[in-house]
Amino acid sequence: MTEYSDTVERQRLLIEAEEWAEGVSSVHVHGFSSMWYDTRPQDTANGQMVCDTTYNNGIIERKKDGKLIHTFGKKLTGDALIDAYQRNT
């Protein structure tokens, strides 16, 4: 039976990490066009404000006037997600 203990432990960690991944890491309301991830300076041109929500899974959602206008980043999955979860908990 112990031959599967590593597989079971990895699956347990993956389930925990997937739940953690949906959590919000930060919320930033701003009018800057110089954010490290920002490839869309037009969103904040002429003093326009946006709300960037960063999730634990690596995704950043940008909303303007309450509507989702862009998603930055790549969603972490598998071992990369487990690694991020273990580093941050």
Given this model, what pLDDT does residue 59 score?
97
Q: Which domain holds residue 82?
A: 2-88
Distance CA 6, CA 17 (A): 16
Task: Give the chain's residues under pLDDT 70.
Answer: 1-2
Residue 1 pLDDT: 57
pTM over 0.75: yes
How many whole angstroms separate alpha carbon 44 and alpha carbon 22? Answer: 26
| Domain count for the chain | 1
**Coil/strand/helix, residue 12:** helix
One-letter amino acid of 85 = Y
